Structure 1
Amino acid sequence: MARLINIDNGGTLTDIVVGTGTDFTFTKTLTTPVDLSQCLFDGMTKASVLLYGEANLADLLHSTRHIRYSSTQGTNALVERKGPLIGVITDDPTLEATLRGSETKAGLFDDLVGARISVVSPHGADDELASELVAEINRLTTAGAERLVVAASSLEREHLYKRTMLKNFPRHLLGSVPILFSREFASDTSRPRQIWSGILNSFLHPTVERFLYSAEHRLRAYKLKNPLLIYRNDGASSRVAKSVALKTYSSGPRGGLEGTRALAEAYGLASVLMIDVGGTTTDVGVVEDSTIAVDRRGSIQGVDISYEMSNVHSSGVGGSSIIAVHDGEITVGPESVGAAPGPACFGFGGTRATITDVNLLLGVLDPATYLNGEMALDADRSRAVITATIAEPLGISLDEALIRMESTYSDRLAASFAHLVDPARGTTLAAFGGGGPMNACSAARTAGVTQVLVPRLAAVFSAYGISFSDIAQSYETTITGFSPAAVAGAREQMLTDASRDMFQEGHDIADCDLAWSTLTEDDHEVQLLTATYRLPHPHLDGGTPSTHSKAVASGTRRVRASAGTIDTVEVYQLDDQVPGARAAGPAIVEGPFFTARVPQGWTLNVSTAGDLLLNDTASTTNPESGR
């Protein structure tokens, strides 16, 4: 069967998984922030070397059915508040107070909009409106607004604003300051959700737009028949032209959740909590009874939006999060060094400390094997940066600084998911992402979790999880008070829209699954339709063998356990172990593009599929099984 390429673009590293459904090739490459399309092509070229023995991107692309792409760039941009300044135009004098409805919302409003809001008159002649709009748009752009959101009292009013703007402003000006009309952007019975969706989409759009159109342009040079697909936060994929920036927010973590659900089903786990530790953020979500919790109206940083989202929460703690000293205390994130300059040990000029630097100096990471030996790490740079930014400001030794930094980081990681642990159900922690396995056990113990599951594909697991997505489009129409004939007409129009959109996706509506439903929301009756074209999905094996053997070590490593103690620990290569292999901590396990630390009191067990099961035997008497 034709290949499917899945790409998960992170703040520091970009993951690429190429599969046919039964076999997978995967790799990682440094994210290139200046031109995100570059790391996409770098990664696919690296994958072609693994498949063909030499770089042959053209053959890889022409043997590929679809390229599916997700990104944490939008998530990271919002976490770090790196985006355009937004201006809002409304005719509702109470709108600002409504949007600032809580302390969390008020803080987000201040960061994204601030004082750049204009209230125009809801009445008056067209020439009066034109004069007022011209004045207010000029005022907002002078105040720094780079994108505008129009939030008028009715759809007709927004249409009037649009006509007035087009008539009174040169198109080159409107093009340089994009304008989003909130009622056209999202179907919703709640105005605050609708307007917040417009604000957030406007903030996220430039980050996504620059890459996507650059990538599509470069792909055209290879004369590909199938378009680039965007993986969305509702778990489906669609063409670039058929998606919106807001639906890319937290899309990578949704891939991780889909993979986590597959793990839960394969291992028979009732409750699995995922932590996807990337460079800038840790994304947390739960799968209960093989079900991903989904909100019909999602929430982003405490703000309700108009689109469906899975319950994934992002916190600013990752492998490239800056560890610093503030007011005599060690802090972690939310700022990140990203891929450029990256952690100090990368040797790209980084001058801020990260957990990657800490784990290198603790001995957890081997500079010769990091990222499968593709990147040499510079311990001297890490030592200099941590001494200058942590040890000296606190007046402590370098060794003490390392231990305190690791402890603070683990506590911060545990705090990101501890509230979701369910002791009664025996929550298993699925730890993945490039940084997940390194500190998962220490964070799990703090949070009261006694079993950690590290999939063999941990380093690229969210990209792998995209393999479970299909091509889909969703529609909704408010039908409150409609006659049966009007409802039938609305359904016919929705089906016409679905037929057109799926045709533009490259598929006939007759080949799609149609899911119709109705619901009541905010006292309104809403008709829903989802059209889905199914793509091949992989199968995951689970379970552990009934017989066990001693894991075979490849060597030893000296790892600092405390400020005055260094342990000599066994190092195990995951791919060299047979299913059923076991060992006790302290130990280090090196998998493909990841390193897992197994502390004292933990045991490791290799599953039938080659995944890593870690159990805290010091804290529990539960058997070491997949439970």
Structure 2
Amino acid sequence: MARIGVDVGGTNTDLVLECTKGVFYHKVPTTLKNQSIGVVDGVKEICRLAEIETAEVDLIVHGTTTATNITIEHNGAETGMLTTRGFRDILHIGRHKRPYNFSLHFTVPWQDKPLVKRRNRIAISERIMPPHGDVETVLNEDEIRDACKLFKKRGINSVVVGFMFSFLNNSHERRAKEIVLQEMPDAYVTLSSEVANVMREYERFSTAAMNCFVGPKTAFYLRDLEQRLRSAGVESKLRIIQSNGGISTVDTCATRPVRILMSGPAGGVIGGASEATMAGTANIITVDIGGTSADISTIPDGKIKIMNPRDTYVSGHPVLTPMIDLITIGAGGGSVAYIDEAGGFHVGPRSAGSEPGPACYGRGGTEPTVTDAQIVLGRLDPDHALGGSLKLDPELSFKAIEEKIAKPLNMSVTEAALGILKIINSNMALAIRSSSVARGVDPREFSIMPFGGAGPLHGVALAEAVAARDVIVPVAPGITAAVGLLKTDLQYDHTAAVITELTKANDDQIARINKASDELRTMIKAELDADGIPPADQSIEIVAECRYQGQGFELRATMPDGAVTRENITQIITSFHDQHHIDYGYSYRNAEVELITLRAIGRASVERIDIPKIADTDHSSIDRALMFVRTTTFDCGRTLETPRYNRKKLFAGDVVHGPAILIQQDSTTLVPPDYVAEMLDYGNTRICHNGRFNSVV
């Protein structure tokens, strides 16, 4: 039995393989024109590395940025929309909230870059009314057929159906879909009640529109990848990680790609949380720094948080789907340094990616990047990138920084390179504070966990900037997100709108809650059964999404075991008060609590990847791991002779005093002067100032 985790980043595609021979790690360049090519090449290469046949692979779990990139580049499908007459402009109006309240010149993405152009939003005569979903105006089917003729004339083959109050009664949406598929058999159709069966028409319509916008290309990619794997002799199951951290099938993700908009970063957070457990550390801040972006997540007490629905925006558009709580900024090894027209010195968010990549790649890139700065300062050895398989040219790095930064600012190349790193570290430190301090979390009680190909080079600088306790470097930093893919469960979720005042609920309302819960359980069980999950391995949880009456958004509360009754309904209310106090620091114990949505979450546990422990130290000299010594310039401006150690030859309990650099195939770890690195049981590393382990800096 063999399992592979594959995480596609903007620069590299990371792979981890677990089989009877052990655990193997590998990196290949991301093929930006079609990510599936790089994925398949990587799968074949890592199988050769492990000396197994591709046919021996039983499972591949994939983290993809395909849907995310479509939203960033805004190159999704031309989409048409059918909506209730009189509400055609909901997607344009949005909410009263604006990015810059006091600016006369700001722009908003939902108006400047709409998911559905106004001319393609067609009003249909129909009306469902609250509070029980009664039909006031019968659906006009002829208008739908006329709209389909218009869509075909305009070359539109992706259609979203969003009717008012369809979360109470979706019969009109379902009938509209039937008609669209009669008229346009090959159309990609999304119903708002299928992807976001909850109240709030703007967010619901936006979620459905996003699904149609990214759907055709994402579905093509997933199915193309599946076919290419089959052609390469890989007959294993292919699973995709979702934004909520659970994995799902290709068919589900192709139908509802809005669930995988944050697929890539999710694996990193799960991998980081697992690494924290191995290191015996409960509080961590993960910083996943790749070639294009940095993904930051705060994990208190080992618990991964799901983002509040009010914050789930992707490229400026609200998307009502569960997402792991994280922040993404344009900061990575490929982030480009430049001087603006006013003479300002900037780094990112634009990235050189892998094509052409940093100047040192020698692929035609002439702009200096963070990686080029690391090369110039001697922190990356150009002859040891990716284990020596990627040859870098330091002269090109020096030239790019000199011409684009140093000369225009009248400084030395070394000063310019240090400036690049200072700016990028400051950008990431601000993001860390917004994920911690701004939410009432004290970073002094947390460890920074840097990973991704570039992460461990920045770990200590970031810990200093936010006064974190220490730095924990994972076993395989450049592959941590891929490892996380093999540490998560299969997961499905469905919602039902059940708007009820819990504090005043009568028997009929309680019966409606129980009926909706049973229906949700049935839907989840059907999906788990269809995926071949034995009943004994299935787990179904119902959570209540509640709010104080009139409040803007909901928080999750725990449902009682078994059916809801007059006696145990107070458990939901108390759970909501407790969660509100945790999130906001206060609660109103006597206020009325509304149940808005029931959410069913179905899980099926999968076997976790087993990372083996490394050998304990024999107390011999760590010179056994010494590779060579080269000069390196540190943030303080000092240039020192710095030994390089093969991290794989260090044992648990070995201590490395800085300055030092730990080298491995997938990443490089920087240990500055006055810092000490201690190897832990699994090959992970703790770095502290002057060896003050387990103490607050």
TM-score (norm: length of structure 2):
0.78
5 Å-filtered alignment, 1:583-598, equals 583-598=656-671
| Aligned-partner Cα distance in 2 for 1:66–1:115 | 37
| Aligned-partner Cα distance in 2 for 1:608–1:294 | 30
Q: Which runs of 5+ in 2 are unaligned?
A: 101-106, 127-138, 501-507, 548-553, 555-593
Q: Which moved more, 1:412-421 or 1:235-244?
A: 412-421
Q: Is 2:472 the counterpart of 1:444? A: no
Pick closer, same or farther for the CA change 1:47–1:437 going to 2, 3 Å: same
Aligned residue number for residue 4 of structure 2? 5
TM-superposed deviation, 1:324:
1.5
TM-superposed deviation, 1:228:
1.0
5 Å-filtered alignment, 1:551-562, equals 551-552=622-623, 553-561=626-634
| Aligned-partner Cα distance in 2 for 1:446–1:425 | 11
TM-superposed deviation, 1:233:
1.8
Residue 323 of structure 2 aligns to which amino acid in structure 1?
M
Q: Which moved more, 1:516-525 or 1:303-312?
A: 516-525
Aligned residue number for residue 114 of structure 2? 113
TM-superposed deviation, 1:268:
2.9
Task: Encode CA deviations 1:360-384: one digit per residue, 9 max, x unaligned.
Answer: 1211111111011111001222233
Aligned residue number for residue 299 of structure 1? 312
Partner SS state of residue 352, structure 1: coil
Q: Which moved more, 1:475-484 or 1:554-563?
A: 475-484
TM-superposed deviation, 1:437:
0.7
Q: Which moved more, 1:480-489 or 1:86-95?
A: 480-489
Partner SS state of residue 387, structure 1: helix
Pick closer, same or farther for the CA change 1:592–1:245 going to 2, 3 Å: same
Aligned residue number for residue 208 of structure 2? 198
Residue 265 of structure 2 aligns to which amino acid in structure 1?
P
Pick closer, same or farther for the CA change 1:206–1:30 going to 2, 3 Å: farther
Is the 2:284–2:447 contact (alpha carbons within 8 Å) kept by the matching residues of 1?
A: yes
Q: Is 2:624 the counterpart of 1:605? A: no
Pick closer, same or farther for the CA change 1:131–1:497 going to 2, 3 Å: closer
Is the 2:658–2:675 contact (alpha carbons within 8 Å) kept by the matching residues of 1?
A: yes
Residue 459 of structure 1 aligns to which amino acid in structure 2?
G
5 Å-filtered alignment, 1:302-451, equals 304-326=318-340, 327-419=342-434, 420=436, 422-423=441-442, 426-451=445-470
Q: Is 2:287 the counterpart of 1:275? A: yes
Aligned residue number for residue 72 of structure 1? 65
Is the 2:116–2:209 contact (alpha carbons within 8 Å) kept by the matching residues of 1?
A: no
Pick closer, same or farther for the CA change 1:104–1:21 going to 2, 3 Å: farther
Q: Is 2:153 the counterpart of 1:152? A: no
Tell me which of 94, 97, 104 is aligned to 1:99: 94
Pick closer, same or farther for the CA change 1:86–1:447 going to 2, 3 Å: farther
Aligned residue number for residue 211 of structure 1? 221
Pick closer, same or farther for the CA change 1:438–1:562 going to 2, 3 Å: closer
| Aligned-partner Cα distance in 1 for 2:75–2:347 | 18
Aligned residue number for residue 551 of structure 2? none
Task: Encode CA deviations 1:69-90: one digit per residue, 9 max, x unaligned.
Answer: 0123433444455545666554
5 Å-filtered alignment, 1:558-573, equals 558-561=631-634, 566-573=639-646
Task: Encode CA deviations 1:489-531: one digit per residue, 9 max, x unaligned.
Answer: 5555444433432233233445422334445466445444333
| Aligned-partner Cα distance in 1 for 2:512–2:486 | 39
Q: Is 2:255 the counterpart of 1:247? A: no
Q: Which moved more, 1:248-257 or 1:113-122?
A: 113-122
Aligned residue number for residue 476 of structure 2? 457
Task: Encode CA deviations 1:543-569: one digit per residue, 9 max, x unaligned.
Answer: 998997763332211123479853211
Is the 2:151–2:157 contact (alpha carbons within 8 Å) kept by the matching residues of 1?
A: no
Residue 536 of structure 1 aligns to which amino acid in structure 2?
E
Tell me which of 510, 520, 527 is aligned to 1:501: 527
Partner SS state of residue 96, structure 2: coil
Q: Which runs of 5+ in 1 are unaligned?
A: none
TM-superposed deviation, 1:113:
0.4
Is the 2:61–2:485 contact (alpha carbons within 8 Å) kept by the matching residues of 1?
A: yes
| Aligned-partner Cα distance in 2 for 1:539–1:14 | 22
| Aligned-partner Cα distance in 2 for 1:42–1:605 | 36
Aligned residue number for residue 286 of structure 1? 298
Aligned residue number for residue 18 of structure 1? 17
5 Å-filtered alignment, 1:129-144, equals 129=143, 133=147, 137=151
Aligned residue number for residue 196 of structure 2? 186
| Aligned-partner Cα distance in 1 for 2:385–2:685 | 19
TM-superposed deviation, 1:576:
1.4
| Aligned-partner Cα distance in 2 for 1:354–1:30 | 17
| Aligned-partner Cα distance in 2 for 1:71–1:365 | 28
| Aligned-partner Cα distance in 1 for 2:56–2:141 | 59
Pick closer, same or farther for the CA change 1:199–1:46 going to 2, 3 Å: same
| Aligned-partner Cα distance in 1 for 2:145–2:258 | 32
TM-score (norm: length of structure 1):
0.86
Residue 252 of structure 2 aligns to which amino acid in structure 1?
K
TM-superposed deviation, 1:165:
5.0
Task: Encode CA deviations 1:72-131: one digit per residue, 9 max, x unaligned.
Answer: 343344445554566655431561465243224962313530892256556499598469
| Aligned-partner Cα distance in 2 for 1:525–1:570 | 60
Pick closer, same or farther for the CA change 1:212–1:166 going to 2, 3 Å: closer
Is the 1:499–1:508 contact (alpha carbons within 8 Å) kept by the matching residues of 2?
A: no
| Aligned-partner Cα distance in 2 for 1:88–1:607 | 55
| Aligned-partner Cα distance in 2 for 1:127–1:493 | 29
Pick closer, same or farther for the CA change 1:85–1:405 going to 2, 3 Å: farther
TM-superposed deviation, 1:12:
0.6
TM-superposed deviation, 1:605:
1.4
| Aligned-partner Cα distance in 1 for 2:240–2:118 | 32
Is the 1:99–1:196 contact (alpha carbons within 8 Å) kept by the matching residues of 2?
A: no
Aligned residue number for residue 602 of structure 2? 531
Aligned residue number for residue 505 of structure 2? none
| Aligned-partner Cα distance in 2 for 1:424–1:171 | 54
Aligned residue number for residue 41 of structure 2? 42
| Aligned-partner Cα distance in 2 for 1:373–1:181 | 50
Partner SS state of residue 108, structure 2: helix
Q: How many percent identity over aligned positions?
A: 23
Pick closer, same or farther for the CA change 1:211–1:424 going to 2, 3 Å: closer
TM-superposed deviation, 1:418:
2.7
Residue 456 of structure 1 aligns to which amino acid in structure 2?
V
Task: Encode CA deviations 1:398-421: one digit per residue, 9 max, x unaligned.
Answer: 333222212212222222213325
Pick closer, same or farther for the CA change 1:115–1:539 going to 2, 3 Å: closer
Tell me which of 509, 512, 536 is aligned to 2:538: 512
Residue 274 of structure 1 aligns to which amino acid in structure 2?
T
Pick closer, same or farther for the CA change 1:66–1:152 going to 2, 3 Å: same
Residue 285 of structure 1 aligns to which amino acid in structure 2?
S
| Aligned-partner Cα distance in 1 for 2:373–2:423 | 11
TM-superposed deviation, 1:583:
2.6
Pick closer, same or farther for the CA change 1:480–1:227 going to 2, 3 Å: same
Partner SS state of residue 254, structure 1: helix
Residue 390 of structure 1 aligns to which amino acid in structure 2?
I
Task: Encode CA deviations 1:136-179: one digit per residue, 9 max, x unaligned.
Answer: 7589x59xx88554433244554565466567x6657xx4xx45
TM-superposed deviation, 1:612:
1.6
Tell me which of 555, 569, 575 is aligned to 2:648: 575
Is the 1:65–1:226 contact (alpha carbons within 8 Å) kept by the matching residues of 2?
A: yes
Provide the aligned length of Structure 1 versus Structure 2. Answer: 609
TM-superposed deviation, 1:339:
1.8
Partner SS state of residue 213, structure 1: helix
Pick closer, same or farther for the CA change 1:77–1:589 going to 2, 3 Å: farther
Pick closer, same or farther for the CA change 1:613–1:535 going to 2, 3 Å: same
TM-superposed deviation, 1:432:
0.4
Is the 2:2–2:18 contact (alpha carbons within 8 Å) kept by the matching residues of 1?
A: yes
